[in-house]
Chain A
Amino acid sequence: MANYIIALFLGVGFGFSLNKAGLTKYYKIVNVFRFTDMAVLKFMMTALAVSMTGLYIFRGLGWINFPSVPPTYIVGNLVGGLIFGVGMALTGF
């Protein structure tokens, strides 16, 4: 139960940050593929850098164990990514 309450609060933070980064807007998403507005990439890479650094520090301190890492399946990941890009550039989601 407590886990679900945590999920709800984290979700609110997640949605809030997406909204404030402007990722809920069509033009923000599609313009990253046109190289005219790189906000999506700046947002994603900053999030990656922050959480990556934190995770490895926390693991070093022994506070966490990594959750199961998404499995590598080269064809699946790549083909999935290719189809995903089409949908993303079309709809701007």
Chain B
Amino acid sequence: MNWFKTQISKEMWSPYIAGILLGIIGLLAVLLSNSLLGASGAFESLAGLIGKNITPALFSNIYWGVEGARSLPIMRPEITWPVILLVGVFFGGMLGAFTSRTFEFRFNDDAQWKKIIGPQPWKRWVIAFFGAILLEYAAGIAGGCTSGLAISGGMLLAPAAFLFIAGMFASGIVTALVVYGRRY
């Protein structure tokens, strides 16, 4: 029991142990709900849901579906299974931080970020905002993000997942090279 307590209160586990846990969660998702874990789709469904309530005409397309059309939308603008999953992820991350007593409100506290990009919180927020737009847009094109396509697709041996991982690492390495310059 004490051993269990020490493990739970560790801030970081071996990535292999955490990976085994995620693998089991991914397996349970298929076994219990016949669904795949994913994060980006939930944001797309939420965006569609909000947009359809504000400007239905603008959001009436093949992506979120057209009223009365026979073909199904690519992203259902509803509270879908992934949306609920995302709510769980929020609390799960919180639980992780609480168990290791590292929960706090942070604005820019990453030592490496401060050294490379600067200590000002606004920089972190602006880059995070535009970077997140890129992420969500890219996930929309590819059909998923790191969890929804790379991991969930990968475990079904979908070729799409491996194409995505290849692209992600190729441009990620180049971007890191550009950002870090001589400090790479």
Contact = CB atoms under 8 A, between A and B. Distances in A.
Interface of A: 3-4, 6-22, 24-27, 30-34, 39-40, 42-52, 54-55, 58, 63-67, 69-74, 76-93
A17 B29 CA distance: 15
Contacts of A40: 15
B184 interface: yes
Contact of A80 (B85, B143, B152, B159): B143
Grouping DSSP codes into helix (H, G, I), strand (E, B) and loop, the B interface class, with mixed when no group exceeds half, is helix
B15 A21 contact: yes
25 contacts: A4-B84, A9-B88, A11-B85, A11-B86, A14-B147, A17-B21, A17-B22, A18-B18, A33-B176, A49-B23, A50-B19, A51-B24, A51-B30, A52-B157, A65-B34, A66-B30, A70-B148, A70-B161, A80-B143, A80-B167, A82-B168, A84-B168, A88-B135, A89-B172, A92-B110
B77 interface: no
B88 A7 contact: yes
Contacts of A33: 169, 172-173, 175-176
The SS class assigned to the A binding surface is helix
A85 B167 contact: yes
- Quick one: which of B17, B22, B91, B163 has the most chain A CB within 10 A? B22
Given A17-B22, A69-B156, A7 B171 contact: no
Contacts of A81: 138, 142, 163-168, 170-171
B12 A47 contact: no
Contacts of B142: 76-77, 79-81, 84
B119 interface: no
